[in-house]
Amino acid sequence: MLPLRQFACSWSCLLNSRAPCVKTLVHGDQRRLFNTSNSRMTIMPAWVIDRYGSNDVLRFTKNAGFPIINYPNEVVVQVHAAGLNPIDVSMRGGYGAATMAMKRDPLNINQSGSEFPLILGRDMSGVIMECGLDVAPAYFKEGDEVSKKPKCLSHIEAAAVPYVAATAWSALVNTGGLNKDNCAKKRILILGGSGGVGTFSIQMLKAWGAHVTVTCSQNAERLVRGLGVDHVVDYTAGPVEVPLRALEKFDLVLDNVGGDTESWALGLLKPWCGAKYVTLVTPFLRNTDRLGIADGMLQTGVTVASKALKHLSKGVHYRWGMFAPNGLALDDISEMVDAGKIRAVVEEEFTFSQVPQAMLKIEKGHARGKTVVKISSGEDSSE
């Protein structure tokens, strides 16, 4: 899933590994080489940024360019709701700009700043408007609710799932080695359990039979207990590592917090048992922003390798986790949602005209699930 345009009434998004990224209609009289739609939309309302910075760089426009289908395996989605994530706030400020520029323009042909006006965004729920010629009708067709939206969820609820689900799956399954067949009775610690990734991870792990401990503030305890958590440690009551050290050691630690947690969290793992520490707070994009793609990736490799070797000598595994697109995982997750094993955790809902307020809410932190923007297909102004 590689969402491209979120804060717009219609946008494009990579839905699945079997149907790459979603773009859309051509402008003016250009011919449609990769799709069969007769639609002639060329502009749409959107929230854009013209430079990187704080929340005041957000600008509403009625004249954002409609995306163009460039490849025959792309689809166009009309967004009904969009989920917000902390990375959206970071990218508003320029986080990952060098890496994204390399992806957009690998030959460095365009001038710096050519990405503007830029529409931010990660995940969404909507309806397919148009399909490229190579998109299999058996999997995606016009009118489908996507990303293969669970039948039991509204668009608002569904928009809260894809990014955090793919991130949790990548960290726990791909990096942590957990799955529905080996998770029973394993002891898992989630540092920062009340946010989007934390609340999703809790539910997936409990569905697979794990024993889950989380850290969160006291006022989030009721939320995480309601999701099935076995033990809660209040990080506001004092140094959180103190009560954690008194507990039985863990098979895996998922770190959503970062900071100084690395200095003590690996000591909570069972030594010489294959136990893993997986952190989602990494310097990968900051390295490439600061040093460039080649040197940044080299620095990243050196950093993670040195830390992994250091902790391997103590009998535990050190790993970095991060979001990774995975359409097959989303299919499995959709089934778990429809089976009642996972529910969307939506903390607050905003209208399309309130995107700046929604971004500020995310920027303040201390999330209790996800923040979602409702995007009405008929809305054509920010008023």
pLDDT range class, residue 381, cuts 50, 70, 90: very low
Give Rg (Cα) of the chain: 21
pTM assigned to the model: 0.87
State the alpha helices, DSSP H only, in the chain: 86-92, 97-104, 155-158, 162-169, 196-207, 221-226, 241-245, 262-265, 284-291, 293-312, 327-338, 355-363
As a whole number of angstroms, the distance between CA 113 and CA 229 comes to: 46
Instruction: Please determine, for residue 27, whether its predicted confidence score (pLDDT) is greater than 80.
Output: no
Amino acid 377: pLDDT: 53
As a whole number of angstroms, the distance between CA 162 and CA 145 comes to: 13
Q: Residue 146: which H helix or E strand, with range? A: strand 145-146
Amino acid 323: pLDDT: 93
Give the residue with greater pLDDT, 97 vs 340: 340
Amino acid 112: pLDDT: 78
Give the residue with greater pLDDT, 190 vs 138: 190
The predicted-structure confidence for 144-190, as pLDDT tens digits, reads as follows 999 789 999 999 999 999 999 999 999 999 999 999 999 998 999 99
Q: What is the mean pLDDT of residues 72-101?
A: 92
358 half-sphere exposure, CB direction, 13 A CA radius:
27
Give the residue with greater pLDDT, 19 vs 84: 84
**Average predicted confidence (pLDDT) for the chain:** 87
Read off the tokens for 237.
């009551």
Max mean pLDDT range (37-51, 57-71, 256-270): 256-270
Amino acid 51: pLDDT: 96
1 close to 85: Cβ distance less than 8 angstroms: no
Instruction: Please determine, for residue 33, whether its predicted confidence score (pLDDT) is greater than 50.
Output: no
Amino acid 4: pLDDT: 33
Q: What is the mean pLDDT of residues 84-98?
A: 94
Instruction: Please determine, for residue 23, whether its predicted confidence score (pLDDT) is greater than 50.
Output: no
Q: What percent of the chain has pLDDT over 70?
A: 87
Amino acid 32: pLDDT: 40
The predicted-structure confidence for 311-336, as pLDDT tens digits, reads as follows 999 999 999 999 998 989 999 999 99
DSSP codes joined into one string, 164-231? HHHHHHIIIIIIT---TTT-TT-EEEEES-SBHHHHHHHHHHHHTT-EEEEEE-GGGHHHHHHTT-SE
Amino acid 39: pLDDT: 56
The values of phi and psi at residue 58, to 5°, are -65, 135
Q: What percent of the chain has pLDDT over 90?
A: 72
The predicted-structure confidence for 62-71, as pLDDT tens digits, reads as follows 999 888 788 8
